[in-house]
Amino acid sequence: MLTLDGVYAGYGGGDVLQGLDLSVVPESVTCVLGPNGAGKSTVLRVVSGLIKPRQGTVSLGEERIDRLSAPEVLAKGVAQVPQAGALFPRMSVRENVLMGGYLIRRQRKLLEERYSAVAELIPLIAERPNAPAGNLSGGQRRMVEIGRSLMLDPAVVLLDEPSLGLDPKSIAAVAGLINGMRERGKTVVLVEQNVRLGLSLSTHGVVMEGGRVRLLGTAEEITNHPEIASLYLGALEPNS
């Protein structure tokens, strides 16, 4: 169980997260929703160790992970897929994916096993291992980014805006991958601007506002909640 308890965190100019409490159900896909600036991406960064909470705790099971560095959190089985643009364009698809296995680079057999498993999940990696990442479309790059994050076989996968900037076909492919992760028992936390898509992929939903959790429930409960429409209309029409 991934748990955030009373988390205050920000970037130096004040706290973005204002005492955030959140328990993520194991093996769920949880979609984090909320208006721009609510702190959704900041939640992912706090979990993955990219920023440290000023106050409060982040735990994985019984173990606190909020004082660990990002590579240490990764080694505990929590992988973040960053927003687009994180591949090395001149390196091949295979080399980019293998970078995700940096922590197990000396265990050649395990590294190859993991690579094969990822290539099986993502056909593009099996089909075009030698293509320079810079030659791929946006959707193909996203698949490679996700594949790279799966190299350590993480228990928890954090996805920041997986559909951002993708065409419908690529979105369907990314959605298929997220469904595949759920079937394999991964715990997925995703931030998604496309509310309908995000909730359709998820078992649970969390609505944030002002750095705290405003609503939390199953994806169905959140989808049918009467406040959701007004929250999002409020976010879309700041002058109304």
Ligand X SMILES: Nc1ncnc2c1ncn2[C@@H]1O[C@H](COP(=O)(O)OP(=O)(O)OP(=O)(O)O)[C@@H](O)[C@H]1O
Q: Is 40 in the site for ligand X (CB under 6 A)?
A: yes
Taking the least distance from each CB to ligand X, the nearer of 9 and 157 is 9
Q: Is 36 in the site for ligand X (CB under 6 A)?
A: yes
Going from the C-alpha of 235 to that of each of 33, 38, 209, the distances in angstroms are 11, 10, 10
The tokens describing 36, both together, are 């721009």
Among 7, 9, 16, 159, binds ligand X (CB under 6 A): 16
Q: Is the CB of residue 60 less than 8 Å from the CB of residue 76?
A: yes
Site string for ligand X, 179-218 (x = CB under 6 A): ------------x---------------------------
Taking the least distance from each CB to ligand X, the nearer of 16 and 133 is 16
Among 1, 11, 61, 137, binds ligand X (CB under 6 A): 11
Q: Least Å distance between CB 187 and ligand X? A: 20
Q: Is 102 in the site for ligand X (CB under 6 A)?
A: no
| Contacts with 158 (C-beta within 8 Å, 6 or more apart), sequence order | 44, 47, 48, 78, 79, 80, 81, 188, 189, 190
Task: Please tell me the distance from the alpha carbon of residue 1 to that of residue 189, in angstroms, as a whole number.
Answer: 12
Q: Least Å distance between CB 48 and ligand X? A: 13
Q: Is 37 in the site for ligand X (CB under 6 A)?
A: yes
At residue 129, φ and ψ (nearest 5 deg) are -60, -30
Q: What is the dihedral of CA 103, 108, 109, 111, to 10 degrees?
A: 40
Please report, as ranges, the residues that interact with ligand X according to CB under 6 A.
Answer: 11, 16, 34, 36-42, 191
